[in-house]
């Protein structure tokens, strides 16, 4: 018996993940973003929960080790987390640029690895709606 009620968001997550198993947890890049991958279930469809961990005022709560990536940036417990130092500027990927890169691919290249090496780490889902004409 629950003595408290869950939020609508929590209930929705529980409903979708009820028959799923946590298959992997990974950190995205060097930021405090974690991807929880849930696989399996009756339909075989997997789900991801992507979470970013920080205090309300971007104050660092705990660290595995103190890091000083540059002279004017210090990452230590109690310091403010500067989101601008870790934010990535992704290249804009146009259909023309993508076609140029794909023409250079060899027959044995793995597509995801080839694209990541050509463009760097890119949020591929953000361009999934792009219409690419057949080469």
- Centre a 10 Å sphere on the Cβ of residue 94 and count the other Cβ atoms it contains: 11
The pLDDT mean for the chain works out to 72
Tell me the pLDDT tens digit for each residue of 13-37: 888 888 888 888 887 766 677 888 8
Q: Which helix or strand (DSSP H or E) is residue 102 part of?
A: helix 95-103
32-66 residue pLDDT tens: 778 888 886 666 677 888 777 776 777 777 776 66
The structure's pTM equals 0.41
Pair of tokens at residue 24: 């992997």
Please tell me the predicted confidence (pLDDT) of residue 126: 47
């Amino acid at each position: 018996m629950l003595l408290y009620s869950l939020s609508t968001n929590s209930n929705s997550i529980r409903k979708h993940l009820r028959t799923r198993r946590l298959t992997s947890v990974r950190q995205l890049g060097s930021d405090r973003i974690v991807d929880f991958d849930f696989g399996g279930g009756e339909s075989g469809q997997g789900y991801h929960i992507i979470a970013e961990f920080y205090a309300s005022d971007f104050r660092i709560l705990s660290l595995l080790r103190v890091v000083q990536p540059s002279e004017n940036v210090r990452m230590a417990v109690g310091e403010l987390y500067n989101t601008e130092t870790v934010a990535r500027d992704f290249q804009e990927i146009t259909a023309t640029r993508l076609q140029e890169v794909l023409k250079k691919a060899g027959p044995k290249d793995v597509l995801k690895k080839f694209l990541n090496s050509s463009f760097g780490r890119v949020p591929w889902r953000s361009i999934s709606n792009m219409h690419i004409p057949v080469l």
